[in-house]
């Protein structure tokens, strides 16, 4: 068994990932084979339904990457289905309070640590009868911090038993702070929010995570983030296609 993300974070390792918005298992597999530590299937803002997400997880399982799912909401039904499909980490959006975080933990973990229902049909085929005994230690519970209420409660959210990382959603967090969506480093309110989340995670001895890109990721590493996305499938595809097109156009113009 490979070292889990949780174990790597405990050793202060940086884990880099890719984000899937396109509903396509082949794309998820390609990202997994690119060498990322984890690949996330985004069921909140991505374009995939559950069956497609299941097949994307199966595709990621053919690679060395860890399959992660961002669920649409803090709902035990979809969280349980994502885990039963084989996700080894769950990113939960719009967590506001410690009670929200506790509900997320309950949905992700089996008793006595949580209240997850037993029925690992697909993941049981992948991992065998030992899955139940190992699941709670392997699954990462990752609430998102992206609202003023979450910021106000971030220390208490981080302290909830079973929470493994705090995920900064820079777009919604920026909007909540009265800033345009995106990375707003250098703006005092944004910098203060990043610092507050990081301090809360360090105090609770858990990791910090963030949606990022190749340009900003080095800064996030310096800030102590240990789960960092560097690209999305749709951005990588668009940028590569645009680069190739511009290269051909430029070469054609030189030949005239």
| Residue of 45, 202, 242, 249 with catalytic role | 45
Q: How far is CA 111 from CA 79, 118, 141, in A?
A: 15, 10, 15
* Residue whose C-alpha is closest to residue 131's, from 142, 113, 115, 119: 119
Q: Any long-range contacts for 116-122 (C-beta under 8 Å, 24+ apart)?
A: 116/76, 116/79, 116/80, 116/83, 117/80, 119/80, 119/84, 120/83, 120/84, 121/84, 122/54, 122/58, 122/84, 122/85, 122/86
Contact of 175 with 194, CB cutoff 8 Å: no
User: Strand pairing of 227-232 and 207-210?
Assistant: parallel
| Residue 24 annotated to the active site | no
Q: How is 217-236 classified by DSSP, letter by letter? A: HHHHHHTT-SEEEEEEHHHH
- Catalytic (active-site) positions: 45
């Amino acid at each position: 068994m490979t070292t889990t993300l949780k174990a790597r974070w405990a050793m202060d390792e940086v884990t880099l990932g890719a984000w899937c918005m396109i509903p396509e298992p082949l794309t998820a597999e390609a990202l997994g084979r690119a060498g990322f530590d984890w690949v996330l299937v985004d069921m909140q803002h991505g374009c995939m339904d559950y069956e497609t997400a299941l097949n994307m997880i199966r595709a990621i399982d053919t690679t060395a990457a860890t399959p992660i799912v961002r669920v649409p909401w803090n709902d035990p039904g979809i969280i349980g289905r994502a885990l039963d499909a084989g996700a080894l980490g769950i990113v939960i959006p719009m967590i506001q309070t410690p009670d929200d975080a506790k509900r997320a933990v309950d949905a992700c973990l089996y008793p006595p640590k949580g209240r997850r229902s037993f029925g690992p049909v697909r993941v049981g085929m992948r991992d065998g009868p030992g899955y139940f005994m190992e699941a709670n230690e392997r699954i990462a519970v990752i609430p998102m911090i992206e609202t003023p209420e979450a910021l106000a409660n971030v220390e208490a959210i981080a302290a909830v038993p079973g929470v493994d990382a705090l995920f900064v959603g820079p777009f919604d967090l920026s909007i909540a702070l009265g800033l345009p969506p995106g990375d707003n480093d250098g703006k005092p309110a944004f910098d203060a929010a990043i610092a507050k989340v990081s301090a809360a995670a360090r105090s609770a001895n858990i990791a910090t995570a963030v949606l990022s890109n190749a340009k900003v990721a080095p800064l996030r590493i310096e800030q102590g983030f240990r789960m960092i996305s560097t690209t999305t499938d749709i951005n990588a595809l668009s940028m590569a296609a645009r680069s190739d097109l511009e290269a051909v156009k430029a070469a054609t113009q030189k030949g005239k």
